[in-house]
Amino acid sequence: RSSSAGMSSYAAVLTGVFKLFATLGSVVLVDKYGRRFLLFVGVSVMLVALVVMTATFAGYETSDDDSGDDAVNLDWRTVTIIIGMFAYIGGYQLGFGPIAWLLISEVFPLEVRGQAVAFAVQNNFAWNLVVSLLYPVLIDSFGTAFGDEYKYCAGFGIFAVLTLYALVFIYRNVPETKGLSLEEIERKFCKDDGATYKADAEAGERDNSSLLGSNSVVQ
């Protein structure tokens, strides 16, 4: 049992170091390749990892007994699952991990940015809580419906579908904000491609001209 606890500690440290270097890679590359590109690449890696783990878990019955046997059977399925998990973590730390927080600080208009960022952060942690609470229930339900050898396959399959939706959403809706001012970023979200901003600017110029004309008449 102490050996198992030691292995868990080593695994946690190794995972933390891997996440650190993956995040540093995102920090180094974000201004060179852009937010949207890194987000798309990171989520693509996550999707591939989830598909691989979904296929690998198919027909793979895990042992949940506490027999005290600390031996790890590194067959091809176990190795593939470990590689898939690290690929998923790397993709997350490259994309969603840092880039999502950067984007939410840039894309909201100035007048609502504080409230919008606070809502986005609260929403993120709320869904983290929901997933953490529902995942064990979901896996047990899949075990009852499909059998223990397919419960994790079904669970990772659902996550793969959700990640595919996220990838399509990023491709269709997330703008690139690299090198843009906050005003230019806000303009990217205007449905008529800046026509509203142009009209507002022209209206402002007309108002200024009218004001100057009125001042001239008064003088």
pLDDT tens-digit readout, 147-176: 777 888 888 899 999 999 999 999 988 888
> Quick one: residue 114, left, alpha or beta (phi over 0 = left, psi -120 to 50 = alpha)?
alpha
Pair of tokens at residue 167:
């990838």
| Rounded CA separation 159/156 (Å) | 5
Rounded to two decimals, what is the model's pTM?
0.74
Q: How far apart are the first and last CA of the chain?
A: 93
The full set of domain ranges for the chain reads 2-180, 189-219
Handedness of CA 119, 38, 175, 43 (dihedral sign): negative
Choose the weakest-confidence range: 17-31, 40-54, 60-74: 60-74
**What is the CATH class of 2-180?**
mainly alpha
Write the pLDDT tens digit of every residue in 73-92: 677 888 888 899 999 999 99
Residue 21 has pLDDT above 70, yes or no: yes
